[in-house]
Amino acid sequence: QSALTQPASVSGSPGQSITISCTGSSSDIGDSNHVCWYQHHPGKAPKLMIYGVTNRPSGVSDRFSGSKSGNTASLTISGLQAEDEADYFCGSFRNSIAWVFGGGTRLTVL
Amino acid sequence: EVQLVESGGGLAQPGGSLRLSCAASGFTFSDYTMNWVRQAPGKGLEWVSFIRSETTTYADSVKGRFTISRDNAKNSLYLQMNSLRAEDTAVYYCVRDYSYAFDYWGQGTLVTVSS
């Protein structure tokens, strides 16, 4: 059982937008500006897509955006492309001590 | 180019030990907090431990059994894993922390705990 709750799967057609939610608690997402999203293609190293709730690292497409409301963070991918198909994990700093992650969401581009 | 290369994974018996290593290159290793994160088969990510200068912190699931360390002269991160359990079976990733974001990950090394 992961500390943060994500849907197991989402899907969308090329060009569409999808949103992945990540629900935690007042001890992590609700109390932290350090919420991140990672893209993971199986067999490869995970890649940082969003940090600090809303910020994109250099080189990450602006089709990826992050937000937070209360204890829930969200990742939105607009203009879906085939290469976006991957697993996506959220992560949050908890109680200023440690990191917690979600169980991951498998994105399928139809 | 930042590179993190893990090694030392393999098969261990329950109650046994393994030592993971991570060779870092392409950045000033001593300037960064480093982490170990693992992913059990079919499961999500689980943060294991971090080391910041001399400060170390561990997940409750490994506290007292795992020890994280670093050798800045060798640009290397380590994870000594003792009293291994079946539930420690996972791919272990070496991860750089840049201002509370895991910005670079290694490819991972598989640890299997089984008799």
Q: Give the per-residue SS3 of B12-28.
A: ECCCCCEEEEEEEECCC
- Give the mean model confidence (pLDDT) for residues B41-52: 93
Facing B101 at nearest CB: one of A36, A98, A102: A36
Token duo for residue A70: 């209360």
Would you call B55 an interface residue with chain A, using a CB distance cutoff of 8 Å?
no
pLDDT, chain B, mean: 96
Which residues from chain B sit within 8 angstroms of residue A46, using beta carbons? 45, 93, 102, 105
pLDDT of residue A94: 84
What is the CA B16 to chain-centroid distance, rounded? 17
Facing A98 at nearest CB: one of B59, B103, B105: B59
pLDDT of residue A73: 97
Q: What is the DSSP letter of A5?
A: B
- Searching chain A, which residue's CA lies closest to the CA of residue B110? A43
- Give the mean model confidence (pLDDT) for residues B80-85: 98
Mapping DSSP to helix (H, G, I), strand (E, B) and coil, where does residue A31 land? Answer: helix
Contacts with B44 (C-beta within 8 Å, 6 or more apart), sequence order: A2, A6, A89, A101, A102, A103, A104
Facing A48 at nearest CB: one of B44, B45, B101: B101
- Name B57's bridge partners: B50
Mean pLDDT in each 10-residue stretch from start to end of chain A (110 residues)? Answer: 92 97 93 94 93 95 97 97 97 85 96
Residue B110 pLDDT greater than 90, yes or no: yes
Cα(B109)–Cα(A24) distance, integer angstroms:
29
- Lateral strand order in the sheet of B76-81: B3-7, B18-25, B76-81, B66-71
Residue B99 pLDDT greater than 70, yes or no: yes
**pLDDT band for position B111 (cuts 50, 70, 90):** very high
Q: How much is the CA Rg of chain B, to the nearest whole Å?
A: 13
pLDDT of residue A97: 72
Contacts with B87 (C-beta within 8 Å, 6 or more apart), sequence order: B40, B61, B113
Cα(B5)–Cα(B94) distance, integer angstroms:
8
Would you call A8 an interface residue with chain B, using a CB distance cutoff of 8 Å?
no
Enumerate residues 66 to 85 of chain A having a beta carbon within 8 A of any beta carbon in chain B. none
What phi, psi does A48 have (nearest 5°)?
-70, 125
* B100 to A52: CB separation less than 8 angstroms, yes or no: yes
- Give the mean model confidence (pLDDT) for residues B41-47: 91
Q: Counting one residue from A and one from B, how many pairs have CB atoms under 8 Å apart?
A: 62
pLDDT of residue A38: 97
Mapping DSSP to helix (H, G, I), strand (E, B) and coil, where does residue B33 land? Answer: strand
Chosen from B3, B45, B48 to mutate, greatest number of chain A CBs within 10 A: B45
